[in-house]
Amino acid sequence: MTVQISRESLIGKSLTRVDALEKVTGRAVYGDDIKMTGLLYGKILRSPKAHAKIKRIDVSKALALEGVKAVVTGKDAPFRGGEALRDQPFLAIDKVRFVGEPVAAVAAVDERIAEEAIKLIEVEYEDLPAVFDVMDALKPDAPIIHEELHTYEHIPIVQPVPGTNICAKFEFERGDLEKGFAEADVVIEDTFTFAPSHHGQIEPFMAIAQVDYNGRITVWVPNDAPSRLRKDLSDAMKIPQDRIRVISPPYMGGGFGGKGGLKVEMVCIALAMKTECRPVKIRLTREETFEATLTRHGAVCWVKMGAKKDGRIVACHSKLYYNTGAYAEKGPTVTLHGCESGVGPYDIPNIKVEGYCVYTNRPVAGALRGYGLPQSSWAHESLVDMLAHKLGLDPLEIRLKNALVEGSINPIRGDELFSVGLKECLEKAAKAIDWYKKRPPNRGVGIACEYKATKTPSGSTAFVRIEQDGSVEVVTSSVEIGQGVRTILTQIVAEELGASPNMIKVTVPDTDYTPFDASTTASRTTFHMGNAVREAARDAKKQLLELASKLYGISPERLDTWDGKVFPKEGGKEMSFREVITSHYRAGLSILGRGSYYPNIPGTLFSAHSVFYMYAAHAVEIEVDPETGVITILKYAAAHDVGRAINPKACEGQIEGGVLQGIGSTLYEEILFDDKGVMLNPNFRDYKMPTSMDMPKVIPIIVEAPHKEGPFGAKGIGEITLVPVSPAIANALFNAIGVRIKDLPLTAEKVYFAIKKQKGGN
Amino acid sequence: MTVQISRESLIGKSLTRVDALEKVTGRAVYGDDIKMTGLLYGKILRSPKAHAKIKRIDVSKALALEGVKAVVTGKDAPFRGGEALRDQPFLAIDKVRFVGEPVAAVAAVDERIAEEAIKLIEVEYEDLPAVFDVMDALKPDAPIIHEELHTYEHIPIVQPVPGTNICAKFEFERGDLEKGFAEADVVIEDTFTFAPSHHGQIEPFMAIAQVDYNGRITVWVPNDAPSRLRKDLSDAMKIPQDRIRVISPPYMGGGFGGKGGLKVEMVCIALAMKTECRPVKIRLTREETFEATLTRHGAVCWVKMGAKKDGRIVACHSKLYYNTGAYAEKGPTVTLHGCESGVGPYDIPNIKVEGYCVYTNRPVAGALRGYGLPQSSWAHESLVDMLAHKLGLDPLEIRLKNALVEGSINPIRGDELFSVGLKECLEKAAKAIDWYKKRPPNRGVGIACEYKATKTPSGSTAFVRIEQDGSVEVVTSSVEIGQGVRTILTQIVAEELGASPNMIKVTVPDTDYTPFDASTTASRTTFHMGNAVREAARDAKKQLLELASKLYGISPERLDTWDGKVFPKEGGKEMSFREVITSHYRAGLSILGRGSYYPNIPGTLFSAHSVFYMYAAHAVEIEVDPETGVITILKYAAAHDVGRAINPKACEGQIEGGVLQGIGSTLYEEILFDDKGVMLNPNFRDYKMPTSMDMPKVIPIIVEAPHKEGPFGAKGIGEITLVPVSPAIANALFNAIGVRIKDLPLTAEKVYFAIKKQKGGN
């Protein structure tokens, strides 16, 4: 007799999202939905000045207002934060460096009183000269924004330049640049600018902090890295990590890099330290979220390339200037990652990339999906197109000729690449839009490609419990930001453990209970946490089969599991997980599995080789209205090498969302400021983000170059999805009407005037 | 060079309770302190009848009241609960069986409206004859309380007798009883009664339930067994366990057995199923807690003993009748455990014990510290004293002559005993009160002893995480009921892992995160969960030493840990846990340990041999005021064999608390009813519990007969501490004034009349 086990792999199946119903019915609980007894409401007084000394702060009137429970200033939280460089006070100390910087905060019994109270705080400023432009900030006579740069703690790879506004500087060289350019048949160079933009998460920022009588701190916050937040708070306050508990709300309303690091948490804590155990909540308005959380770095990127007549690129030199605003935040590592793509996903023998992370008096810039690559990629992928044009080559052909392949050496990090699906991405994306087809006037096609590293090394840990009734709990600190992590981890555990997906539940992070995870960023979760939960599932399965082995009287190796049942491989009676467990433990017990993943790669964070690389190529067909300058996207093909798609529909969702987000900063989005550094469009009326109505026809293409260490071959996908969008569209614009625009966004106005200029010859 | 590691064991040290400060400052959060948004308040309509058919329920007026959000009756929760016998509806179905039984419930926007609404519910009853006395309920013509007893599900060891009020019946025999009595030189018998009493937890019962849109249930409740509660709910509702989450409040205001099982949880859930995701809270009043949660079984115990002239007891026959009230609840297993001590901690060759768990129309009786032993022990320890008197032997000597010793066979279960400190307890307790000293008139001494099993088999599981900063999280479902479990587990993990206690944090149970534990009952936690966390700590330590081994370049076996540091055993540099972890995982990782404990003992729950036994002997000196009958305790010595005291002060606290609780039911406490079954004293004004002012001089004595399988030799202590109190005091009363009272409590009134009767010869 043989058993009939319908063992179809769950990997590669488009399981419906486990949280779909809860989200579409509006029942999902977000941070602002959390209420608690005795809750106080905090409001932050913000600097109206871009750069000024604080001469005096008088909070006495605010404190005297009825209903006010606490007022804090920089003296109450004399700590600085900063992942790479510890430069940022949570409330301004001595001076302010951007319009919107927190200066003081109030906790009161309701938001209205808190709002009233902050207006009663008197602050006397002494203006200092401000600098906003990244290139101006580099001039020798520029106002210095951080006079004490030399005193800040920083991670080794980040080297600030005291006495300047250079917060961090990076340089990568390979081969012989001069020789490379000398050998080239054609050399071109150009400068491209990337406008500052915003994450535009639907959920504005919020946090609740409570400090118990003995100083233990609990923070409820939609942060993309609960374990890291706990460590950052512990480092900032110099208290042990076990004095802090970070709880994620069940859902997060979008992150895109903007929900990481320390934002209002520390201000909440400073207030909560004065409220005798009453919790304090701060929720930012949309305006505050724009002005005072994070932006994406505006950047100026200069690239020079030299190539042989046949299109072989032999030299590339890039200088990338990232405007990081008033504080470093993740700026240094954003710049570093931007540098990594400073020459593109090409095998170029002679390169030099210089990256500058530059302080200005703009709001703080930090991580935003793509982490520095949208800027550098915008530049080099535009220039590659210009090079192709100059050489009379097809833009697809020049990319295929230079593209990284299996065994190529990473031009920046020097590691030998494997699992490289770049050429397949290029070919499939081009094919999907019928690349070589002849187009009518004002229509054009563009292509761009990129690769992206993940955060390396970084660790993930997880528990998997099989309960006595056979249900399975996956205990992890991975955050459901909307990307579908609960679904992916459910699939991985179901597959590895042989459980049915509907038996599995994935927990919400709570650092008291859920074990360490570096972060839910950098497209790292499927790979890292996927490996961790897989190991934990394997550990649990091993124990389960050992129990079953005693029941069957055969060795565990001769047993296997599927769909919540154990069965002998050679056939025989099935037993449910429940039966196996309760046969041994009638009085009840769970099986506990533990797993962790930490890549075995030498080097420290941001200096190591990447444990995996994602590859992507986007090809787009557009039509330009020469009368208005409006660009209409007719067809958008995005091909992504994800290693292995655990859930193809989830990958497609990532691609579609990323492409639309990329379209936003390509065609519409730009944060605008007045000459005093005041943000002019900090809201969704004036800051133009695409909506679902702007969604073009997107063709998501999944390419699978399996990774030897990824769970079932998977790598990542989330971040790179928006990177090629800007150059792909700009290249199509040039292809359509011969206009090359080098400054994002490609607004209709800009296109209109470029056409006019082209026609007028001026 | 050799290292100086001050490695003094933490086991046996009276560490200050980790929660001491939080409790004494009043900052500890209890269930009723939990607030949440949208919270509704539930109230329960209770039966005014002891036994009646429900002819009609009309809830329409209650539903129509403004502010009422849901009304439920038995039809809305057509489930029955019951650990041993599934007989109890959560809301009455068709009939009511005691005054106070839940009939309907309302959820409203505030408690006042809910209270008003339940008054609007119309219920028509048809009276049925009621029976309250346990012996009356056994008569052939007694009203039958459960006509459908034959249809109820039950665990195998519990055998109800359909057609009677016998909910469960047990019989244990060993040797030849008739022959034993025939051989005896002296045979005596008598009947003793034990009054129903109450736990008197300071915190009344409460629960909050919330049902999310897809039916997943969360319950916040101070229950002594979150994992079991989850299973009980799952079993009752026939839904998988992963559809239910049980969260413990951080603190519980006393349990003593009264916070287990299913009380208002199911009613909360039934309401919450109708409130569209709004949470529903029910908090019982003090009166409801008395009338409608649990009581301790009143009991009638008949014992007959035969002994040789030298005091050797050769035969014992007991018949124990436990009044379990209207529903079984834990009554069957309470009776079973009572039976186990039906002949006392003595090596008697010929025995028979009969135990009857009997339904009446009283409120439900269930677990209360001691679990059936206070009743049976009251009887046999009184009778042993009477036997000694009849034989002209000293009550201590007769006990020492018959006491169980190492290698004795458990008279009921038949297992060979080890780790038996009973004689040492007897000797030390007697010595502590100067047993043989001649006392002045009206003074006397009494002694009593007992042994108690724990719940076997039962399982515990736990995780121990070493965080990257060296702090340690112990993830466990053990409940801090006030017994000090967090402190004990901290000590065990600190010792096993070589961590400093102040680096360790023990979590609060939450079934989504904390792994399975059978229950925090039966004095099982130090032993079972102690073993589980110890294994988890060992697992974590092993991994830590493997990491350290690579750093030191020597095998893990040559390394050890202490006080949060790793060191080579032969001497050398110490490294903190933090250094070891971050040397390997610079980007951060935790070490995960897992542990579980399930005793390797054949048999099922309640039928297996006990994995350990606790032993105790109490000796007391009292003075009786012959004018008033008031008993004054002059000195009370309580000796307890705990295997190994992990924290001696915690053991002493248990002893002191238990003795005072025992004094309560010995001298003061008795639940009184009128002839309709209405409780007359359901509050702390009329129900007389001892307060701290009634605390006599107690001498706690710790005896250590280490257990081979216990963590560091530990067994348990909590439950047995009150068991010997009643007979010890009654025996001292007889010793003081020659009066033998066989019905508890020994109120001054009862003593006064007994003295009067003795004097008057009537």
Pairwise CA distance, residues A166 & A146, whole Å = 10
pLDDT of residue A527: 98
SS (H, E, C) B274-343: CCCCCCEEEECCHHHHHHHCCEECEEEEEEEEEECCCCCEEEEEEEEEEEEECCCCCHHHHHHHHHHCCC
CB contact under 8 A, B21 and A514: no
**∠ CA(B603), CA(B604), CA(B606), 5° rounding?**
110
Tell me the pLDDT of chain B averaged across its residues: 95
Among residues B260, B295, B373, the alpha carbon closest in space to that of B687 is found at B295
Q: Quick: pLDDT tens for A705-738.
A: 999 999 999 999 999 999 999 999 999 999 999 9
* Lowest-confidence region among A211-225, A303-317, B459-473: A211-225
Architecture of domain B34-128+203-253+259-292: Alpha-Beta Complex (3.90)
For tokens 């292509």, name the residue. A447
What pLDDT shows up at residue B1?
39
> A residues 181-220 near B, CB within 8 Å?
212-214
The reported pLDDT for the residue numbered B8 is: 85
Mean pLDDT of all residues in B593-618? 92
Model ipTM?
A: 0.92
How much is the average pLDDT of A161-186?
Answer: 97
Neighbour-count burial of A127, counting CB atoms closer than 10 A to its CB (0-12 exposed, 13-18 middle, 19+ buried): exposed
- In this prediction, residue B757 has a pLDDT band, given cuts at 50, 70 and 90, of very high
Q: What are the C-alpha distances in Å from B493 to residues A344, B463, B525? A: 52, 11, 14
Q: Do B467 and A513 touch (CB under 8 A)?
A: no
Q: How confident is the model at residue B603 (pLDDT cuts 50, 70, 90)?
A: confident
Half-sphere exposure of B502 (CA within 13 A, CB side): 3
CB atoms within 10 A of CB B656: 18
- Tell me which of B589, B596, B597, B601 to substitute to probe the interface with A (most A C-beta atoms closer than 10 Å): B589
Region(s) of chain B under CATH 3.90.1170.50: 34-128+203-253+259-292
The mean pLDDT value of chain A amounts to 95
Predicted pLDDT of residue A3: 45
Residue B606 has pLDDT above 80, yes or no: no
Indicate the pairing of strand A102-108 with strand A313-325. Answer: unpaired
Quick one: pLDDT at residue B6?
58
* Of residues A51, A25, A243, the one with CA closest to residue A147: A51
Task: Using CB atoms, pick whichever of A507, A518, A590 lies closest to residue B587.
Answer: A518
Chain segment B344-368, per-residue pLDDT in tens:
999 999 999 999 999 999 999 999 9
- The DSSP code for A744 is S
Pairing of strands A575-576, A565-568: antiparallel
Give the rounded distance of the alpha carbon of A368 from its chain centre.
5
Sign of torsion, CA A303 A307 A309 A311?
A: negative
Q: Quick one: average pLDDT of B470-490? A: 97
Query: What are the start-end ranges of the E strands in B477-573?
Result: 504-506, 559-562, 565-568
pLDDT of B134 reads 98
B295-456+604-760: what fold? Aldehyde Oxidoreductase; domain 4 (3.30.365)
In the prediction, which pLDDT does B263 show? 87
Nearest neighbour of A594 by CB, restricted to B467, B472, B592: B592
Q: What is the pLDDT at residue A212?
A: 85
Give bridge partners of residue B295 from the DSSP assignment: B365
Question: Which DSSP symbol is given to A517?
Answer: B
pLDDT at A64 over 90: yes
Residue partners of A213: CB distance under 8 A and separation at least 6? A277, B21, B22, B25, B27
A2 has a pLDDT exceeding 50: no
Q: How many CB atoms lie within 10 A of CB A48?
A: 16
Q: What are the residues facing A208 on neighbouring strands? A: A220, A281
**Spatial separation of the C-alpha atoms in residues B297 and A295, rounded to whole Å:** 68
Cis peptide before B279 (omega within 30 of 0): no
Contact B82, B146 (CB under 8 A): no
Q: Under DSSP, is residue B219 helix (H, G, I), strand (E, B) or coil?
A: strand
* The predicted structure's pLDDT at residue B338: 96
- Closest-CA distance, B564 to chain A, in angstroms, reads 13
> Among residues B623, B642, B280, which one has the least CA distance to residue B451?
B642
CA gap B716, B454 in Å, rounded = 8
Domain with CATH 3.30.365.10 in chain B: 20-28+458-597, 295-456+604-760
Cα gap B563→B497, rounded to integer Å: 9
Place of tokens 């007893």: B149
Chain B hits for A587, CB-CB cut-off 8 Å, are: 455, 457-459, 518, 598, 604-605
Confidence of residue B2 (pLDDT cuts 50, 70, 90): very low
- Find which of A516, A576, A601 to mutate to test the B interface (most B CBs within 10 Å of its CB): A516
Which residue of chain B comes nearest to A584, CA vs CA?
A: B598
- State the DSSP string of B600-668: ---S-TTTSPPS-EEEEEEEEEEEE-TTT--EEEEEEEEEEE-SS-SSHHHHHHHHHHHHHHHHIIIII
Q: Give A212 to chain B, closest Cα distance, Å.
A: 8
Amino acid at the residue B583: S
What is the percent of chain B where pLDDT is above 70?
A: 99
Predicted pLDDT of residue A205:
94
Please give the DSSP secondary-structure letter assigned to residue A507. P
Q: pLDDT higher for B586 or B534?
A: B534
A-facing residues of B in 575-604 (CB < 8 A) are 584-590, 592-596, 598, 604
Lowest-pLDDT choice from A219-228, A231-240, A521-530, B509-518:
A231-240
Confidence of residue A214 (pLDDT cuts 50, 70, 90): confident
What would the CATH number be for the domain defined by A20-28+458-597?
3.30.365.10
Give the residue from chain B lying closest to A38, CA to CA. B35
Amino acid found at B413: R
User: How many CB atoms are located within 10 Å of the residue B617 CB?
Assistant: 33
Beta bridge mates, A251: A30
Q: What is the mean pLDDT of residues B434-446?
A: 97
Whole-number Cα distances in Å, B703 to A559, B347, B453, B640: 49, 21, 17, 6
User: Does residue A375 surpass a pLDDT of 50?
Assistant: yes
Paired with A506 in beta bridges are A474
Kindly write down the DSSP assignment for every residue of B347-377, as one continuous string: --SEEEEEEEEEE-SSPPEE--TTTTHHHHH
Residues of chain A numbered 452-471 and touching chain B (CB < 8 Å): 455, 457-459, 461, 463, 465, 467-471
Decide if pLDDT at A213 tops 80.
no
Say whether A458 and B587 touch across the interface (CB within 8 A). Answer: yes
Residue of A nearest to B238 (CA): A469
> Which tens digits make up the pLDDT trace of A534-546?
999 999 999 999 9
* Residue B274 identity: K
Of A487, A484, A475, A476, residue with least CA distance to A518: A476
In angstroms, the CA A96 to CA A98 distance is 6
Q: Inter-chain contact A465–B516, Cβ cutoff 8 Å?
A: yes
Nearest to B458 by CA among B233, B593, B611: B611
Q: What pLDDT does B3 receive?
A: 45
CB pairs under 8 A between A and B: 180
Q: Nearest chain A Cα to B473, which residue?
A: A512
The token duo for B671 is 């639940």
φ, ψ of residue A302 to 5 degrees: the values are: -105, 130
pLDDT(A1) > 50: no
Average pLDDT of A572-577?
Answer: 96
Instruction: Give the pLDDT confidence score for residue A761 in this predicted structure.
Output: 58
- Judge contact between B495 and B10, C-beta under 8 A: yes
Q: What is the average pLDDT across A165-177?
A: 96
Residue predicted with more confidence, A240 or B488? B488
Specify whether the CB–CB gap between B229 and B265 falls below 8 A: yes
CA distance B716 to B613: 8
Q: What is the CA radius of gyration of chain B?
A: 27
Instruction: Identify whether the C-beta of residue B534 lies closer than 8 Å to the C-beta of residue B595.
Output: yes
